[in-house]
Amino acid sequence: MKSQSRNHLMQLTGPVALALTLTILLMGQARPEGPTQKKEITAQRFVLVDSTGKECAWLMAGEDDSPVLLLRKGRASASLNLSDPVMGLGFRGKDGKRGAWIGIGTGESPGVSLYGESLKGGIRLMVESDGSPHVTLGDATGKTVWKAP
Strand partners, 100: 91, 114
Q: How does residue 19 score in pLDDT terms, banded at 50, 70 and 90?
A: low
Banded pLDDT at 2 (limits 50, 70, 90): low
Domain assignment present for 91: yes
Task: Kindly state the DSSP code that residue 61 receives in the 8-state scheme.
Answer: E
Tell me the three state secondary structure of residue 13: helix
pLDDT band at residue 105 under the 50/70/90 scheme: confident
Residue 101 falls within a domain, yes or no?
Answer: yes
Count structural domains, the chain. Answer: 1
Residue 149 and residue 134 in contact, taking contact as beta carbons nearer than 8 Å: yes
Average confidence (pLDDT) over 16-40 = 67
Full residue range of the structural domain in which residue 140 is found: 74-148
Give the pTM: 0.66
Strands in 87-92's sheet, in edge-to-edge order, are: 45-49, 55-61, 67-73, 76-82, 87-92, 99-104, 110-115, 122-127, 133-138, 144-148
